């Protein structure tokens, strides 16, 4: 599943081809995505695209006729191709530009979305207006996270993965960050000290920033027909390593389910 770093790398890949371009028309081959593709998108001919923004795992296209909200879901991918390129299976949406190129959306599992919002979706759209801060901004700091956690009985791992608390800390990043910070994933969020949040927050930021950077260096040419945005090979210390040896203490890593998500930790390094 594309996580925040993959979405940010997708944004960086497609933005130069979209910004300051004009939409010719929109082709919807299959409306049946996670939610039906907004009919308004087919009225966007002649609109000017000023910006491609990312908020959480949503891409927001700012156009002179409103906003397009794109989510990659479980298996979505965006490419910029010459508009006459024949579509292949699962190519559900084309945003055709007057430049002769199009932004093409392929999504085999159809959990992605293409929605329209007249107002900026961060203010007006139910999917976006209640999201917590972006993890890589200054608003997300130890003071904020500590204050937000007071009185919370839920586990620290579930807490940092809650999009109302902070967006974009997916399961892999939560596992890795808690290991690096030495915090037991089941510890109650409200019982984690300020000092430990001061350690955890920079680790979360660094983990996500590193993934974006790795994605950037392996960034495929988004204008190639077969240019799949990469899902980054991470150097993972705990995720996917349940039962293997801890890289820090050589003890055995434990794997449990927490909030229905695979959770791997070191019982000696994480308290
Ligand atoms: Zn260990």
DSSP for 161-212 reads T-TTTSS---HHHHHHHHHHHT--TTSBGGGS-HHHHHHHHHHHHHHHHHHH
Kindly tell me the sign of the dihedral angle through the C-alpha atoms of 11, 16, 17, 20: positive
Q: Report the percentage of the chain scoring pLDDT > 70.
A: 93
* Ligand 1 centroid from CA 171, angstroms: 19
- Which residues on adjacent β-strands are paired with residue 257? 262
* Ligand 1 centroid from CA 75, angstroms: 34
The Cβ-side half-sphere exposure at 3, using a 13 Å CA radius, reads: 21
* Ligand 1 centroid from CA 247, angstroms: 7
- Candidates 6, 8, 55, 57; catalytic one: 57
Reading the block at residue 61, the tokens are 């296209």
Query: pLDDT (tens digit, 9 = 90+) per residue, 8-36?
Result: 989 998 999 999 999 999 999 999 999 99
Mean pLDDT in residue range 160-176? 95
> Phi, psi (5° rounding) for residue 245?
-90, 140
Residue 3 is a catalytic residue: yes
Reading the block at residue 24, the tokens are 């010719």
Residue 108 is a catalytic residue: no
* Ligand 1 centroid from CA 140, angstroms: 28
Mean pLDDT in residue range 150-156? 97
Report pTM.
Answer: 0.90
Q: In the predicted model, is pLDDT for residue 85 greater than 70?
A: yes
Mean pLDDT in residue range 68-73? 96
Reading the block at residue 211, the tokens are 């993934």
- Candidates 65, 110, 199, 261; catalytic one: 261
Q: In the predicted model, is pLDDT for residue 261 greater than 50?
A: yes
User: For residue 116, what is the enclosing H or E element?
Assistant: strand 113-117
Q: What is the pLDDT of residue 214?
A: 80
Reading the block at residue 55, the tokens are 């908020």
């Amino acid at each position: 599943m594309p996580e925040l770093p993959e979405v940010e790398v997708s944004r960086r890949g497609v933005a130069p081809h979209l910004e300051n371009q004009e939409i010719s028309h929109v082709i919807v081959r299959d409306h049946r995505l996670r939610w039906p593709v907004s009919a308004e998108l087919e009225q966007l001919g002649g609109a000017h695209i000023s910006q491609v923004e990312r908020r959480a795992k949503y891409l927001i296209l700012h156009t002179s006729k409103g906003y397009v909200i794109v989510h990659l879901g479980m298996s979505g991918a965006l490419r910029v191709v010459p508009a006459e390129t024949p579509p292949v299976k699962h190519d559900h949406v084309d945003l055709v530009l007057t430049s002769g190129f199009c932004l093409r959306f392929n999504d085999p599992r159809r959990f992605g979305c293409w929605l329209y919002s007249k107002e900026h979706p961060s203010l007006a759209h139910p999917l976006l207006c209640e999201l917590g801060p972006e993890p890589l901004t200054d608003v997300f700091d130890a003071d904020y996270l500590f204050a937000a956690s007071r009185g919370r009985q839920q586990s620290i791992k579930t807490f940092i993965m809650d999009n109302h608390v902070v967006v974009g800390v997916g399961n892999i990043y939560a596992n890795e960050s808690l290991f690096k910070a030495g915090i037991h994933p089941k510890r109650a969020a409200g019982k984690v000290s300020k000092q430990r949040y001061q350690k955890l927050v920079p680790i979360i930021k660094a983990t996500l920033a590193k993934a974006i950077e790795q994605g950037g260096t392996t960034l495929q040419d988004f204008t190639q027909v077969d240019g799949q945005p990469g899902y980054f090979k991470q150097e993972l210390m705990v995720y996917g390593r349940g039962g293997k040896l801890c890289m820090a203490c050589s003890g055995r890593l434990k794997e449990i389910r927490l909030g229905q998500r695979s959770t791997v930790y070191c019982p000696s390094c994480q308290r």
